[in-house]
Structure 1
């Protein structure tokens, strides 16, 4: 019995070591795009996009044309009003939101729950919003929900989930365990 346990533990150590070595080698040899030009958020006719997990800019008049690729890694990104937002992984289980200045330098970082889905910045650059897919909010198998948050870049006020908002329905406070916000547009009042 002790021999079998020793073999199982030894096998687990060998497999784990192999996996760590493979991951390190794969990271070293990953196809990282060539950083073709300086990318920034200064005014100009360019769109911000993600190319091979890196922030890139492309001319608005030619969206299929050549891209300027930066070393900043993101899964989702958006920019407006001189403010950028980048949703990126910190490790296999965590993600973060990074607010970027016009030179793509981090101004603020927040840990966020879930897998990045959307990122937006208000036209003035003051408000940043994000949506992630999260699991575990329900006991249903294979289910997921979304979580949307908002950050006021100027004041630092943060709402990590819109589900904390008070909902009025027919003039009365509405509460439900399965409230979930999805999509839609907010128009300035």
Structure 2
């Protein structure tokens, strides 16, 4: 064998070893994140721990947030309501991702995701599970520089809808048929059909209200992203930019009066907030001089600034 052939052989062998190592790594991670039903609940808040980089799901009592307890799950996003838990997780080489849904301790459904997990919610009854994933790109920071898919699963019927993009959209009173529409941050009311979400198109974002059964939606106002409906259904929290290109902060909209209130101490948030109750919101944000996100809590009436509740944590979900 001449020198050139030997170099080619060595190069091919090296590539094979690298690929094999990658497959072994991804397989081991997938094995760790195999579907695990939630069989016990021992806390008030469920979240994804970030410190070890594995996405371990833990629980805490709000009265003692320093005392964490582990669960068997490993997720990138997690949410639980009405006895139903959704875990957005790594599912295989590629990498590929899936939404694992369990109800009352038993696995219900695995729904493949078209991209990297971003948001997850469950309706109060536990009957409607929703998610958002990035199809390309990895950030909302550049409008139009990414593509998302927002879908949902009706646990009662087993129907899974991959995307809201097939819904009839009325934007500012007119039928909207642009090809660049993206949706994210689906949140469902207690009737399990009324929903709120973000619609982005043409460099703008709108808070939209829709109907999962009629598959129609209409815009309510511009510049509102990642909405979250309060338990009593009277308010919607969302992130809103400070200025045209500034960072986001949280705002709360009173659906009856139309009054919008910005929440202090939330600048820099990039999360779909979670209502702990009708008066308090939890969200993840990276504190100043920190590398990892922490879970913060803020009063919904804006009476005081947000404070850190759980360091090195993401994806808060009340239990």
Give the TM bin, normalised by the shorter chain: 0.7 to 0.9
Consecutive unaligned residues of structure 2, counting only runs of 5 or more, are 33-37, 138-143, 184-197, 199-225, 235-319
TM-score, with structure 1 as normaliser: 0.75
TM-score, with structure 2 as normaliser: 0.47
User: Who is 2:181 aligned against?
Assistant: 179
State the secondary structure of the residue aligned to 1:86.
strand
Which has a greater percent of helix? 1
Consecutive unaligned residues of structure 1, counting only runs of 5 or more, are 33-38, 137-141
Cα distance in 2 for partners of 1:162, 1:22 equals: 34
User: Who is 2:112 aligned against?
Assistant: 111
Is residue 54 of structure 2 the alignment partner of residue 56 of structure 1? no
User: Could you give the per-residue CA deviations for residues 81-140 of structure 1, whole angstroms, max 9, x where no partner exists?
Assistant: 11000000112421000101233x42110101110011111111011010111118xxxx
Say whether the 8 Å CA contact 1:41–1:83 is kept in structure 2: no
Matches within 5 A, 1:52-91: 52-63=54-65, 65-91=66-92
Say whether the 8 Å CA contact 1:84–1:100 is kept in structure 2: yes
Say whether the 8 Å CA contact 1:45–1:61 is kept in structure 2: no
User: Who is 2:101 aligned against?
Assistant: 99
Cα distance in 1 for partners of 2:229, 2:14 equals: 54
User: Could you give the per-residue CA deviations for residues 6-60 of structure 1, whole angstroms, max 9, x where no partner exists?
Assistant: 52243222343156347747987xxx9xxxxxx6465x75211112412221112
Say whether the 8 Å CA contact 1:41–1:101 is kept in structure 2: no
Cα distance in 1 for partners of 2:88, 2:25 equals: 25
User: Who is 1:46 aligned against?
Assistant: 44
Cα distance in 1 for partners of 2:129, 2:100 equals: 10
Alignment RMSD (CA, Å): 3.2
State the secondary structure of the residue aligned to 2:182.
coil
Say whether the 8 Å CA contact 1:41–1:84 is kept in structure 2: no
* Number of residue pairs the alignment of both structures matches: 172
Which has a greater percent of strand? 2
